[in-house]
Homo-oligomer: A and B are copies of this chain.
C-alpha cells in the first residue's frame, strides 16, 4: 500500500525542487547544463511583407547575416543541452552575461528586463498533459531587439507557437506587415492563451471532485483535492509574475514596443488577468472542497454511529433481560428466587416486555430522526 504511493511524489518532485534554484556562491553569469537536457536545435524564420525564409540552422553563427537586415528575423532555439552552442549564441546576439544566465539556468521567475537596445522577457509556457495528470511547464525567454527576436525554449517537445508560424507562412492577418514587437506579442499571446485549455481541465477535475466529495468521499478524493490545490499553486506562481511583466511592458516599455502593439498587449494583459482570475477562483473552490470533505467525513461518521447506537441501544437492554432469566437462582430454596420462571405466562410476558422496550426505544430514536437516512441528496 505504502509502496504504491511512493511513486506519486516523484512526478511532483520536479515541479518543486527545480523551481527557482540557484547554485550558491557561483560567479554571476555562470551557466549550468542539465545533463538530461536535449541539445539545442535552432530554427530561423526571416520575413518581411514580401519574402519569407524558414529553415533549421546548425550553428548560431549562421544567424548573424540576418540580424542586421531590415526584415524581421525570428531565431527560435529549442533545448538547452549544449554549453558551447549556448555561449556562442550569447556572443552572436551580444547578450549580457546575466541575460544568458537567466535564459539558460531555468527555471527563472517570469520577468521583464531592459538592457539598452535589447529587451529580455522571461515567460512560462504551460501545455496540458492529458486528461488526468497536470501540465508540462517550460520556460520561454524572449530577447527582443529592433530587427530580430530570439526565443529560447527549454525543450523541443511542447510548443504552442505553431499557429503563429502558420500565420507568418500564409501571410494571415497583419503579422507580415508588422515588426518584431508584434511578433513578440503574437507569441506571448499564444503562451497566455495556452493557459486556458489547462484551466479547462482543472475546471473539469474540480467538478468531478465536487461530485465525489459529496457522494462518496474516500482517501483518494482527499489526495486528489490536495493534488489539485498544489498544481493550482504552481499555475498561480507561473501566471502572476507574467501578468506583472506584461503590465510593465505596456507601461514602462522601451522604445522597442510600438504604440499600436501596445493596444494588442493590453488585450494580452486582459487575458492574463482572466487566467489569474480563474486560477484564484479554482483555488478558492478547491480550498472550499477541503472543508466540504471534512464535513462529509464527519457526516458519514454520524451515519455509522447512528446505526451502531440504534442497534446497540435496542439489543443491549434486551440481552440484559434475557440474561436475568438465564440466571440459575434456585427456585426451590425460596419463593422469592425467580418465581417468574415458574409462572404460567412467564415466557410470553417476558417476550412482551422485551417487545415493549424495543418499541419504546425505536420510538425514541424515530422521534430524534435517527431512523431515516439523512445522507441522501436530492437532485437540485
Contact = CB atoms under 8 A, between A and B. Distances in A.
A214 to B, nearest CB: 5
A328 to B, nearest CB: 5
B194 A24 contact: yes
A243 B113 CA distance: 18
Nearest to A224: B380
A251 interface: no
Interface residues of A, number: 150
Interface stretch (A14-22, A43-51, A54-62): A14-22
A327 B328 contact: yes
A304 B307 contact: no
Contact of A216 (B215, B322, B369): B369
B277 A20 contact: yes
A333 B346 contact: yes
A204 B73 CA distance: 44
Interface stretch (A63-71, A85-93, A144-152, A159-167): A159-167
A36 interface: no
Interface string A313-334: 1011111101111111111011
A288 B380 contact: no
A337 B346 contact: yes
Contact of A22 (B109, B163, B196, B263): B196
Name the residue in A7, A167, A341 with the highest tally of chain B Cβ atoms < 10 Å from its Cβ.
A341
A293 to B, nearest CB: 6
A219 to B, nearest CB: 5
B316 A311 contact: yes
A226 interface: yes
Contact of A24 (B190, B226, B270): B190
A344 B348 contact: no
B20 A278 contact: yes
Contacts of A327: 322, 325-326, 328, 347, 350
A167 B317 CA distance: 76
A137 to B, nearest CB: 14
B264 A219 contact: no
B28 A173 contact: yes
A326 B322 contact: yes
A309 interface: yes
Interface string A280-323: 01001100101111111111111111111101110111111011
A108 B162 CA distance: 25
Interface in A226-269: 226-227, 229-230, 233, 237, 263-264, 266-267
A271 interface: yes
A219 B296 contact: yes
Interface of A: 1-2, 4-9, 11-13, 16-17, 19-29, 96, 98, 101-102, 108-109, 111, 113, 132-133, 160-164, 167, 172-173, 186, 189-190, 192-194, 196-197, 200, 203-204, 206-207, 210-211, 214-216, 218-220, 222-223, 226-227, 229-230, 233, 237, 263-264, 266-267, 270-271, 273-275, 277-278, 281, 284-285, 288, 290-309, 311-313, 315-320, 322-331, 333-334, 336-338, 340-348, 350, 368-370, 374-380
Given A27-B167, A329-B346, 9 more contacts: A17-B200, A20-B277, A26-B193, A132-B380, A233-B285, A304-B370, A320-B322, A323-B323, A329-B347
